[in-house]
Amino acid sequence: MEMLENSKKIKFIDFCAGIGAGRLGLENLGMQWVGFSEIDKKSEITYRAFFGKDEKNFGDLMKIEPDDLPDFDLMIAGFPCQTFSVIGQRAGMKDDRGQIIYGLIKIIKTKNLKYFILENVKGLLNHDGGQTMKIILNELDKTGYKVFPKVVSSLNHGVPQMRERIYFVGVRKDLIIKNKAFNFPEEIETPSLKKYLIETKELEFNEKNDSYKTFLRYLNNKYNVGKFSVGELLKEDYLVLDTC
């Protein structure tokens, strides 16, 4: 993050916070957390269990008055992916969840933030033939930010799981040094999944599970049909299947 200021001076709020993974990452870099925004009650319960029961939740970001937020420098937001994911109906901007990006942009603009980090599923890249991606990048550009998008896999950054996500790192244009780009972290060796697994039959994966049916639908959607064999996959050792 060489083009950013000293991380210890950066204050941030995590929107669409989930259970706080984004917060954990930024705090590990020394940044200062000042609040979160999450509407899912179960996620909020877990978030508070991790970080503290008195943590400030600003609630539904689409109802937030940006001027009511404290001053902060950086937004992090994993905005809803279901409307862009190959697992869902891919309704995109026609779905209410697809409009949340505009709520985030409103906050970014009103608070004149220095930076943002937005995250979504890889499927956003080709949604509506790439038009959705173009709209988002254009709106962020008009708001006054240089955006550096990249698909990143957790498998290459210290997590024994192949979860591909697109990240948008935005820097306010007046803060960018001429011809300077944001450089994403270098890839590192993937740790072994074996060290993270436990011996139990409670998590067996078979036709009795609803998740198994979801998995079959995933294998047979138009993007994956014919690519994989269920039998061959289930013979693999230390394999975790994630269809999100």
pLDDT of residue 200: 67
Query: Mean pLDDT over residues 193-209, rounded?
Result: 68
Residues 109 and 70 in one domain: yes
Calpha distance 56→64 (Å, rounded): 13
Query: Is residue 244 domain-resident?
Result: no
Query: Is residue 55 domain-resident?
Result: yes
Residues 104 and 222 in one domain: no
Q: How many CB atoms lie within 10 A of CB 117?
A: 18
Residue appearing with tokens 């957390």: 33
178 pLDDT more than 70: yes
Query: Is residue 181 domain-resident?
Result: no
| Average pLDDT of the chain, as a whole number | 82
Q: Is the pTM of this model over 0.85?
A: no
Would you call 16 a catalytic residue per the annotation? no
Residues 165 and 220 in one domain: no
> For 34-74, how does the pLDDT look when each residue is reduced to its tens digit (9 = 90+)?
999 999 999 999 999 999 999 999 999 999 999 999 999 99
- The count of structural domains within the chain is 2
Query: Is residue 242 domain-resident?
Result: no
List the catalytic residue out of 16, 19, 81, 108.
81
Determine the structural domain holding residue 223 and report its residue range.
Answer: 193-234
Do 47 and 20 form a contact (C-beta atoms < 8 A)? yes
